[in-house]
Structures are given as structure tokens and as C-alpha cells.
Amino acid sequence: MSGKIITLTRHIIEEQRRFPEATGEFTDLMNDIAFAAKLISYHTNKAGLLGVLGETGTINVQGEVVKKLDIFANETMVKALDHGGNLCVMASEEEEDIIPIPEEYPYGKYVCMFDPLDGSSNIDANVSVGTIFSIYRRITPDGTPGTLEDCLQPGYKQVCAGYVVYGSSTMMVFTTGNGVHGFTLDPSYGEFVLSHPNIRIPEKAKIYSVNESNFDYWNENIKKYIRYVKATDKETNRPLNSRYIGSLVSDFHRNLLYGGIFLYPASSKAPEGKLRLLYEANPLAMIVEHAGGKASNGHKDILQIVPEKLHQRVPLFIGSKYDVEMVEDFMQGKRG
């Protein structure tokens, strides 16, 4: 790099110069998200010391045991974003309904939906977790409270998608449609600094990531694909390496950088799959597509799916393009 320190704010401002009509609202929104990420990073990294490990004993809308950090992360995102005047409505994987903007604050032109702390079941084991966020323009009239309609937009309508991975370092990766860029948090002065400009996912996977304990519950086509990637064939660099952390952001981030495919198929236990369209599949699909990869439910691009429910689940095959297209061929009976 040319020795310049490109902070997140500088990158966004330089990006915005491509849009003469830009008002700075998006820059403000991204800075609010970055602030929330810094707070979540601090508490996630200090969790063992701050006594926020362990479970609250409550159950979220997904029927999952909620960890104290889950609640903290969700509250942090809501409180960081609800007053800036950039949003008309929010939605969170942790909350059953849409999250209205308090009426004492102005309604902005954006919608933000997020998974505040994905992978949280791993927190007590010190496994990396992450925040995933997705930003749309509102489709209901300006100046009014946002509605469910503003949230149920197909993924191709996203104006920005990103995630923060709280791992050996805290890193934000996002796209506004002009490349995928990674920013690493420098804790010494609390800035996200450009560390991975123009991330491109390798065309072919070296890694496959799937929870194989579900094998008996998959349909025959996906079983054939998994047997295929595990078979030895030097010409096609098989078997692929198996890597599965059980934390989507971490599995996705590694595969984005090294080349890989992440699979969460439908099964007889989970007929719609496990992962959520609005908070996980759509934002990661926008990122992977702008990094040269692909995301599919096995039959259709994730970004083309029109959501019907706030917590809609979707089978997810995401990562290196060659491999996602191959899974689609297996799923559609064209290979096997």
C-alpha cells in the first residue's frame, strides 16, 4: 500500500464522491455501525473477564438459548443506530418483529437488518463470532415510520452488505457494489484501517464447510455431492479440505480469503435449512458475488429470492463460483 492510512471513514467518503447526489447519510450510518462494532469487539474480547459469558437462560425467536453477549450485541446495534436520522426501521435476528425508530428521532432513508452476534453458541469456547449487517433504501414514503414492507426486499436491492468478525483481530468486510474491502480494527487508536482492498474469492474451492452430522437427513443429491468432494481424484484436486467452525462468519471469512464453499442444505430436520435469508444469506451473498463468487439455495440465486417472512430460513450454498455451480448441478440432478 502507498503508505497512506485509509480509515473506514476516508474510504467511504472517497467512495461517495462517485455519487454527486450523496448527502453523507450513508457515511454517518456506516460510522454508527463501526462504533457499535468497536463496542461489541471490546465486550467480546473481554467477555471472560467481564462476566458476560454464560447463558441468560432466555430463548430467542429462533428457539436458541440466548447468551449474555447476544443481548449486549443486539442492544448495542439498536442503540447505536436508532437516533442518527439515517434509518426508518431496523430488524434483528434476535427480535421477533421489526424495530421501529423512536418517534422523537427523524426517519431516514435507509433500512438496516442484522444478526448482532452470529455464532454465539461458540463464545464460551473462545471461537470467533461475528456481526452481519445489510442495508437497503426504504420503499415506503420518506418521513414516515418504516414498515415490514421496507424489510421484505429481495437481496439484489441491498445498497451495502457487510460483516465484522471478532477473531484474532477484529475485521470489518463490506461492499457497496464497488468491490469488497476489509478493514482491520487498530485498537491502539480505535480506527478501522483498510487492510484487505479488493478481496476476490478464488474461482475454485480448496475447502468445503458443512456439518456432516446431518448427512443422514439430506436428500440423495446433496449426499452425492458430499461423496464427490471427499473422493480422491488428483486431476480435480479432490478431496477438498474439510473445515467447519460452526460460526458462519468465521467459516465464510476463511473461505472468502482461501477459496471454499460453505453448505447448509435443507434436511428432513430443517426443510427450509437453518440460516436466515435476511440477516445471513442475503448480506453474505452480496459480498461473495462482488468478490467473484456465488450464492444459491441450490436452484436459485439467493439475491433473487423475494422474502415472505422476517425470519425466513433458506438452504445456503455460498463461496467459490465453480463449486457453487457444481452443487447446483448435483441438486438439479444434472450430475451425480
Strand partners, 136: 111
Contact with ligand P6P (CB under 6 A): which of 247, 255, 267, 282?
247
Amino acid at 113: M
Nearer to ligand P6P, 264 or 330 (CB): 264
Min separation Cβ 83 and ligand P6P, Å:
29
Which residues are CB-neighbours of 121 under 8 A, at least 6 positions away?
A: 64, 65, 67, 246
In the numeric block, which cell numbers belong to residue 256?
472468502
Nearer to ligand P6P, 211 or 236 (CB): 211
Tell whether residue 248 is a contact of ligand P6P (CB under 6 A). yes
Min separation Cβ 31 and ligand P6P, Å:
26
Nearer to ligand P6P, 118 or 323 (CB): 118
Q: How far apart are CA 282 and CA 276, in angstroms?
A: 8
Contact with ligand P6P (CB under 6 A): which of 38, 68, 109, 274?
274
Helix axes 25-45, 8-16, angle to 10 degrees: 160
Q: Which stretch binds ligand P6P (CB under 6 A): 46-54, 158-166, 218-226, 244-252?
A: 244-252
| Cβ atoms of residues 52 and 69 within 8 Å | yes
Contact with ligand P6P (CB under 6 A): which of 84, 108, 116, 119?
119
Nearer to ligand P6P, 211 or 219 (CB): 211
Contact with ligand P6P (CB under 6 A): which of 144, 211, 242, 268?
211
Min separation Cβ 202 and ligand P6P, Å:
21
| Cβ atoms of residues 91 and 101 within 8 Å | no
Q: How many residues bind ligand P6P (CB under 6 A)?
A: 9
Tell whether residue 197 is a contact of ligand P6P (CB under 6 A). no
Contact with ligand P6P (CB under 6 A): which of 32, 94, 118, 323?
118
Which residues are CB-neighbours of 205 under 8 A, at least 6 positions away?
A: 240, 255, 259, 260, 261, 319, 320, 322, 323
Nearer to ligand P6P, 121 or 147 (CB): 121
Min separation Cβ 246 and ligand P6P, Å:
5
Q: Which stretch binds ligand P6P (CB under 6 A): 68-76, 181-189, 192-200, 247-255?
A: 247-255
Q: Which stretch binds ligand P6P (CB under 6 A): 75-83, 99-107, 198-206, 243-251?
A: 243-251
Tell whether residue 121 is a contact of ligand P6P (CB under 6 A). yes
Nearer to ligand P6P, 70 or 150 (CB): 70
| Cβ atoms of residues 40 and 129 within 8 Å | no
Tell whether residue 116 is a contact of ligand P6P (CB under 6 A). no
Q: Is the peptide bond before 315 cis (omega within 30 degrees of 0)?
A: no
Residue numbers at the binding site for ligand P6P (CB under 6 A) = 118-119, 121, 211, 246-248, 251, 274
